[in-house]
Amino acid sequence: MLNKRVYLAGPIFGKADAECMGWRMDAAHWLRLRGFKPVDPMRRDYRGREDICPEKIVSQDQEDIFSCGYMLANANAPSWGTAMELVYGRATDCSVVAFATFANSPAISPWLRQYTDAIYESLDHALAGIASGSTKGMR
């Protein structure tokens, strides 16, 4: 049976609500309408308390990622957490899909290319890639 759980990876640390939640809310709505189950780490908003419980934050995110068949990563801005999630997702056999406005640029990091199955130029294209099963797209 296809695991239709999708982990929503992207910058959180030091980001405002709109940066963390806006795209995730849009993606979650879109995914639910198509029978997928979004898994949003923002449901546990630890911003401002990261230094108190780093082990808890990381272990909860790892459990979530391990339970998913897909990872959708917002790669528009560098993020230590997102980078680590990509590596962990790949190690757990998630299909890792990223989106970045510069996806067609040679400026994509080789690390991002190596740890994703597909990189799309927009959230909409990445979601369509997941829904169609074509997560082996442009890299």
The packing angle between helices 80-91 and 54-66, to 10°, is 40
pLDDT in tens, 41-97: 877 776 667 678 788 888 898 999 999 999 999 998 888 989 999 999 999 989 999
pLDDT in tens, 97-129: 999 987 566 678 888 989 999 999 999 999 999
Q: Is the Cβ–Cβ distance between 99 and 77 less than 8 Å?
A: no
pTM for this prediction = 0.86
* Domains present along the chain, CATH in parentheses: 5-132 (3.40.50.450)
